[in-house]
Amino acid sequence: MYRRRDDRRGQMIGDITNDLRRYSVDAQHIGHAFAGLHGLNATDLQALIAVMDAELVGDPITPGRLGERLNLSSGSVTALIDRLERAGHIRRDRDTADRRKVFLHYADRGAELARSFFAPLGRRTDDVMARYTDEELEVVHRFMADMVVSMREHRDAVRAARGGPAKRATD
Amino acid sequence: MYRRRDDRRGQMIGDITNDLRRYSVDAQHIGHAFAGLHGLNATDLQALIAVMDAELVGDPITPGRLGERLNLSSGSVTALIDRLERAGHIRRDRDTADRRKVFLHYADRGAELARSFFAPLGRRTDDVMARYTDEELEVVHRFMADMVVSMREHRDAVRAARGGPAKRATD
DNA sequence: ACCAAGTATCTTGACGGGCGAGATTATCGG
DNA sequence: CCGATAATCTCGCCCGTCAAGATACTTGGT
């Protein structure tokens, strides 16, 4: 499973792989813990973030697209939105042009919750990044962007392996 | 939520933050999709990986420690192990010294499954890393390692906010 | 212009299963 | 013998999937 190479570079590659895996798992756990702390689950939190994200870009999200993004069935999405709306985190708004569509907007409750999630995280990342020069951060960014592209391709490939042809959940 | 700073460095920090978030989400989805493809769920896959991981290091894991690592209750862990054992991915072994303890070992099924999960991922990451010099990878590693430390602290802080005093799920 | 069939979007209801909480059993250490 | 530890068992909740339905838009023929 782990190809342990003896050379320095091979060692480095293995280390970075572990870093990434640990980071992902920890990020997941943080979300889970924070969500539980506020009476919702990990998916709810992700959804709330997605709703704010979309709206702040000026392009409110619909249940359908939310489902694509979180990789959830339509039924789950409705239940999910019900929960969030009931808790006062978001609200529904029918599109006036196409009245089949529903736009999701965040409410004050939700905004505050998201802020209290991101604020401490932001502080921590800022602290870490302060230790690096612009050039170094540039390298990190290039690397991570490359990795994201590669992972996304892989995700689509795995998804395509079973059912429908890999819907690109654009993020 | 997003503090949009105008300077180059602020922009960079935001970009990297997004990279990391996207990577985590995608990694999660890959695990989910791959697991579903093979008749198990995301948790099962993580557990299988943890079992192999521990055993390859020469220190087989017990249900208790597995629960800590995945952040699961004892009941869930037992059910989880039941599923994996029934599917032929792992097997239980009572410790001869302390017969309360159960050691988890991977079976051939599980080993092959894990391999088929990691192999393509490894190829992709190798492809990406090939584009970077040793020095650049060194920077990436330093950065990610720092981030992991910071995230882990944060995770423990969030967990401590509700219930028990942050059990360090050592990885 | 109108109506019917087709398509898209969201909602509903039934169902299964993972997960958590607490009690129970088996074993170890003193 | 007694408290502590490790795993398991039992029960109930709730999330997510699936299939069917409701509503709204779109298209094509007459």
Once rounded to an integer, what is the mean pLDDT over residues A39-67?
94
Q: pLDDT-derived band of residue B166, with 50, 70 and 90 as boundaries?
A: very low
- Pick B145's closest partner by Cβ from A2, A19, A139: A19
DSSP chain A: ------SHHHHHHHHHHHHHHHHHHHHHHHHHHHHHHTT--HHHHHHHHHHHHHHHTT--B-HHHHHHHHT--HHHHHHHHHHHHHTTSEEEEE-SSSTT-EEEEE-HHHHHHHHHHHHHHHHHHHHHHTTS-HHHHHHHHHHHHHHHHHHHHHHHHHHHHHSS-------
Query: Is B168 an 8 Å CB contact of chain A?
Result: no
Nucleotides of C under 7 A from a protein CB: 8-14, 17-23, 26-29
- Residue B160 touches chain A, beta carbons under 8 Å: no
Give the pLDDT band (50/70/90) at residue A160: confident
Contacts of B9 in chain A (CB under 8 A): 134, 137
Flag whether residue A79 sits within 8 Å of chain B, measured between CB atoms: no
Pairing of strands A102-106, B90-94: unpaired
pLDDT tens digits, B35-88: 999 989 999 999 999 999 899 889 999 999 999 999 999 999 999 999 999 999
The answer to whether B71 faces chain A, any CB pair under 8 Å, is: yes
Q: Which residue in the set B20, B127, B129 is minimally distant from A23, CB to CB? A: B20
Chain B residues with CB inside 8 Å of A36's CB? Answer: 162
Please write the tens of the pLDDT for every residue from A111-145.
999 999 999 999 999 999 999 999 999 999 999 99
Where is pLDDT greater, at A138 or A160?
Answer: A138
Task: Report helix, strand or coil for A104.
Answer: strand
Q: Tell whether the model's pLDDT for residue A170 goes beyond 60.
A: no
Chain B residues within an 8 Å CB radius of A139 = 132, 136, 139-140
Q: What are the sequence ranges of the domains in chain B?
A: 24-131, 132-160+167-171
pLDDT for residue A117: 95
* The pLDDT of residue B165 is above 50: no
Residue A61 reports pLDDT greater than 60: yes
pLDDT in tens, B87-125: 999 999 998 899 999 999 999 999 999 999 999 999 999
B109 lies within 8 A of chain A by CB: no
pLDDT at B171: 54
The answer to whether A68 and A62 are in contact (CB under 8 A) is no
Rounded, the Å distance between the CA of A21 and C1' of C17 is 27
Q: What angle do CA A51, A168, B45 make, to 5 degrees?
A: 85
Q: What pLDDT is recorded for position A40? A: 92
pLDDT at res. B169: 43
**Interval A43-70 mean pLDDT:** 94
pLDDT of residue B1: 56
Asked: is B24-131 a CATH 3.90.1150.10 domain? The reply is no
CATH 1.10.1140.10 fits A30-129, yes or no: no
Query: Cα-flanking dihedrals φ and ψ of residue B40, to 5°?
Result: -135, 175
pLDDT band for position B161 (50/70/90)?
confident
pLDDT(B167) > 80? no
User: Of A2, A56, A137, which is closest to B12 when you measure between CB atoms?
Assistant: A137
**Residue with smallest Cα–C1' gap to C28:** B98
- Kindly state the tokens that stand for A95: 């599109």
Strand partners, A93: A103
* Per-residue pLDDT, B5: 65
Give me the CA A140–C1' D22 separation in Å, rounded.
Answer: 50
